[in-house]
């Protein structure tokens, strides 16, 4: 009895938004250095002096977006669009706000508008690709091939267009790699993750993702090296510990696997997969009570998770045989 799961986060770079009009295009990344509260104050003052200042509404809306005040962001961005109907950055930012609210249909419409009015808006291509990629992932796992292939092609097109427009766009490389990995195009994904690392040598997500692709290709030494590097970069994130533990589990280094799965859980990766991995490792060394506890934790997250159910039954049976 053996269940082991490496865990892959899809589209780790996520959507990119909160773009301030008038800033250089190279600054239009999620980590651009500006203070949301200061921007809100500045543009509130400008709006007080000119209630029809579309740029002021757009930039204040972008600041609200950065703060996570989504309804305020949507209100300001809608006003900016009302004043300037071809305002691409405002459409992109409002789409971002809608997407964070889970309103993907409205978000997609706004990204389409952003691209219509600014065909070189690489941020909007990345963000639209993000929605398409999640749809591709959903239909892929639902075994609806026609829809999966459709959205895969659209997402691939959009991420590639974003990269064409901005060749050093690390978020788009990471997202395209995630898309390719989900559809088992691992070698192409590795190329994208490697490019992300070239652009950002301390990108935790890129190392974990590339390690997962190497793992899928059974290149375990390379996968281990990437997981180790990810842990070196951020020892307080759980995902790399789980995936490294997955390798140790396959190598029957159970004590090391247990250590890593526990570290993963302690650092925020308490998924049903990690608990099931931990249960499998405990089961493998005959620690059946601990295995039962781990499988039970997995089932508290998803009571129908079959590997945890079967693992729990096996652990109880093994414990009974020991008596």
Residues 135, 115 within the same domain: no
134 and 81: one domain? no
Q: Are 97 and 150 part of one and the same domain?
A: no
Q: How many domains does the chain contain in total?
A: 2
Instruction: Tell me how many degrees the CA angle 290-221-206 measures, rounded to the nearest 5.
Output: 85
Average pLDDT, integer, range 260-283: 96
Q: Does 25 fall in a domain?
A: no
Per-residue pLDDT, averaged over 140-166, amounts to 96
Choose between 19 and 283: higher pLDDT.
283
- The string of DSSP codes covering 157-207 is HHHHHHHHH-TT-HHHHHHHHHHHHHTT-HHHHHHHHHHHHHH-TT-HHHH
Asked if 268 contacts 261 with a C-beta cutoff of 8 angstroms, the reply is no
Does one domain contain both 221 and 170? yes
Residue 260 lies in a domain: no
Return d(Cα 65, Cα 149) in angstroms, integer: 32
- 83 with 174, same domain: the answer is no
Q: Check whether 12 has a pLDDT greater than 60.
A: no
pLDDT digits 0-9 by tens, 37-81: 999 999 999 999 999 999 999 999 999 999 999 999 999 999 999
- Last residue of a domain, which of 200, 234, 268? 234
The answer to whether residue 163 is domain-embedded is yes
End-to-end CA distance of the chain: 20
What radius of gyration do the chain's Cα atoms show? Answer: 23
Residue indicated by tokens 């974990």: 208
- pLDDT 10s digits, 184-230: 999 999 999 999 999 999 999 999 999 999 999 999 999 999 999 99
Instruction: Determine the structural domain holding residue 198 and report its residue range.
Output: 129-234
Mean pLDDT confidence for 286-309: 97
Q: Please state, in angstroms and rounded to a whole number, the distance separating the CA atoms of residues 191 and 206.
A: 11
Last residue of a domain, one of 217, 234, 251: 234
Q: What is the number of alpha carbons within 13 Å of residue 68 lying toward its C-beta?
A: 0
Note whether residue 107 is domain-resident.
Answer: yes
Q: Global pTM?
A: 0.88
Give domain status of residue 318, yes or no.
Answer: no
Q: How far is CA 172 from the centre of its chain?
A: 12
- Confirm whether 154 is domain-assigned: yes
Q: DSSP readout, 202-222?
A: T-HHHHHHHHHHHHHTT-HHH
No. of helices (H) and no. of strands (E), the chain: 16, 0
23 DSSP 8-state letter: S
Band (pLDDT 50/70/90 cuts) for residue 34 is: confident
Predicted local distance difference test score (pLDDT) of residue 20: 59
Show which of 89, 119, 149 is a domain's final residue: 119
Judged against a pLDDT cut of 80, whether residue 28 lies above it is answered with: no
pLDDT for the residue 16: 52
Query: Does some domain include residue 187?
Result: yes
> Sorting pLDDT into bands at 50, 70 and 90, what band is 322?
confident
Percent of the chain with pLDDT over 90: 87
Q: What is the DSSP letter of 6?
A: -
* Per-residue model confidence (pLDDT) at position 48: 98
CA–CA separation, 304 and 298 (whole Å): 10
**What is the domain-level CATH number for residue 58?**
1.25.40.10
**Residue 82, in any domain of the structure:** yes
| pLDDT reported for residue 185 | 97
Lowest mean pLDDT among 3-7, 149-153, 279-283: 3-7
Q: Mind giving me the DSSP string for 42-76?
A: HHHHHHHH-TT-HHHHHHHHHHHHHHT-HHHHHHH
Q: Is the pLDDT of residue 128 over 60?
A: yes
Percent of the chain with pLDDT over 70: 90
pLDDT per residue as tens digits for the range 72-122: 999 999 999 999 999 999 999 999 999 999 999 999 999 999 999 999 999
């Amino acid at each position: 009895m053996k269940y082991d799961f490496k865990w892959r986060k899809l589209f780790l770079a996520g959507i990119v938004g909160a773009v301030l009009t008038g800033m250089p295009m190279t600054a239009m990344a999620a980590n651009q250095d500006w203070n949301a509260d200061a921007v809100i104050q500045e543009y509130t003052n400008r709006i007080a002096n000119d209630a029809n200042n579309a740029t002021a509404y757009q930039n204040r809306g972008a600041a609200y977006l950065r703060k996570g005040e989504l309804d305020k962001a949507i209100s300001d961005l809608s006003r900016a669009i009302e004043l300037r109907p071809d305002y691409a950055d405002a459409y992109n930012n409002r789409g971002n706000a809608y997407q964070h609210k889970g309103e993907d249909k409205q978000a997609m419409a706004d990204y389409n508008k952003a691209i219509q009015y600014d065909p070189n808006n690489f941020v909007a291509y990345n963000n639209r690709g993000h929605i398409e990629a999640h749809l591709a992932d959903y239909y892929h796992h639902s075994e609806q091939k026609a829809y999966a292939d459709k959205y895969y092609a659209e997402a691939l097109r959009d991420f590639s267009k974003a990269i064409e427009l901005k060749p050093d766009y690390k978020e788009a490389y990471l997202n395209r790699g995630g898309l390719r990995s989900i559809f088992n195009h691992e070698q192409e994904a590795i190329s994208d993750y490697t490019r992300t690392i070239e652009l950002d040598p301390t990108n935790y997500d890129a190392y974990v993702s590339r390690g997962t692709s190497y793992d899928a290709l059974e290149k375990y030494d390379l996968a281990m090296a990437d997981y180790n590097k990810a842990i070196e970069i951020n020892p307080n994130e759980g995902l790399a510990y789980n995936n490294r533990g997955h390798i140790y589990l396959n190598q029957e280094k159970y004590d090391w696997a247990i250590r890593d799965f526990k570290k993963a859980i302690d650092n925020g990766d308490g998924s049903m997969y990690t608990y099931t991995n931990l249960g499998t490792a405990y089961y493998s060394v005959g620690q059946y009570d601990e295995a039962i506890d781990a499988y039970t934790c997995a089932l508290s997250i998803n009571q129908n998770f079959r590997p945890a159910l079967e693992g729990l039954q096996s652990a109880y049976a093994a414990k009974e045989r020991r008596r």
